[in-house]
Amino acid sequence: MQTVGHSEHTLKTALISKNPELVKQYEQLDPGEQRLLNEAFRPHSDLFGPITLHSPSDWIISHPEAPQDFEQFFSNLHRKSPSPGKQTIYIQCIGQILTFLKKKKPEDAFCVVGVTMIDLYPRDSWNFVFGQASLTEGVGIFSFARYGTDFYSSHYKGKLKKLERKSSSDYSVFDDYYLPEATSVLLLRSCKTLTHEIGHIFGLRHCQWLACLMQGSNHLEEADRRPLDLCPICLRKLQSAVGFRLRDRYKALVRWIDAESTDTPRVTPKHSREELVTLPKPVEAFKEWKEWVTRCLAVLQK
């Protein structure tokens, strides 16, 4: 295992910047928010750790790219921010991909994110991706396909007898397609990918500073190692783009986990799309994350 290490000075600069205006902006945050964000460069922080690499196939090794600090994010003229008329995030179940989303994007949408059960391959030279987003168009897509426990044991060889050209509105090709059981682990994995892709639409690039939701992932094991929340550097980017108090954010996340949802429909492999089963929201896999969020709140509220 290899650790991606950065000096305290490098992390501090990536978070706060050397630009006097951005430093002033940071100093105007309330003391609790500064205290939490400063965990980014505190040695041996128990809230935010370094990125670890476990194999040559991990994202940073396979897809080298320049890191993005807060100043680069803030100065990006092409990044999108919500506005009074465009502040809704739509989630759309689809079979087609980004061009479909662009055509179906409502006027008041900040972005539209599609959810599909189809494996995603953005280009022939890549293996699959869990999700993909277009910053300029405000659209993204992510797939549940590989999140079920029985995906790799499913076989479709021989089921397609001949190639057929279908219209873009004909979804019959997906009838009886593989549907995973909606487990707690699937919900956790899906939340990670969905929020990661929306982060890209807000202008956040892949994180190379600390263990973070915005890390790239090249395979399921790497995606599972990725935390559900943002490191302080990426958290400051999102806060700058959206505008929220960190305390309110973390309290809302705890409320979401604790809320007893008894009307969440679930489709399992034993049921058709017309036979939705109502089950409690499965959040068992979120237990450690809730404990982490609670510790962050304790730092904010000192």
Give me the active site residues, please. 197
Residues 6+ apart with CB under 8 A from 233: 11, 14, 15, 40, 69, 70, 207, 209, 210, 212
Handedness of CA 108, 111, 115, 116 (dihedral sign): positive
d(CA 215, CA 196): 8
d(CA 176, CA 84): 41
Contact (CB, 8 A) for 117 and 145 = yes
- Rounded to 5°, the CA angle 179-183-185 comes to 110
Eight-state DSSP code of residue 97: -
Phi and psi angles of residue 201, each rounded to the nearest 5 degrees, phi first: -65, -30
